[in-house]
């Protein structure tokens, strides 16, 4: 039973990691757009 709990917790942790990575990538995307506008 403890192994099952650990698997669920690991899966939950991975979803948080994936969400954090997606957030950083989104911020970088908008930052590149803003930087591109400044060059024009």
Lookup: tokens for 6:
């650990």
Tell me the DSSP string of 1-40. -HHHHHHHHHHHHHHHHHHHHHHHHHHHHHHHHHHHHHH-
Q: What is the pLDDT of residue 39?
A: 57
Q: Take residue 21 and report the two structure tokens written for it.
A: 């990575």
Measure the CA–CA gap between 13 and 21, rounded to whole angstroms. Answer: 12
pLDDT given for residue 38 in this prediction:
67
How would you write the pLDDT of the chain (40 residues) with one tens digit per residue?
Answer: 899 999 999 999 999 999 999 999 999 999 999 998 865 5
- pTM, entire model: 0.66
How far is Cα 27 from Cα 21, in angstroms, rounded to an integer?
A: 10
Whole-number pLDDT of residue 19: 98
**Domain limits of the chain?**
1-40
Amino acid 26: pLDDT: 98
């Amino acid at each position: 039973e403890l192994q099952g709990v650990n698997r669920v917790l690991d899966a939950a942790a991975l979803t948080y990691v994936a969400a954090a990575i997606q957030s950083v990538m989104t911020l970088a995307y908008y930052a590149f757009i803003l930087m591109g506008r400044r060059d024009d």
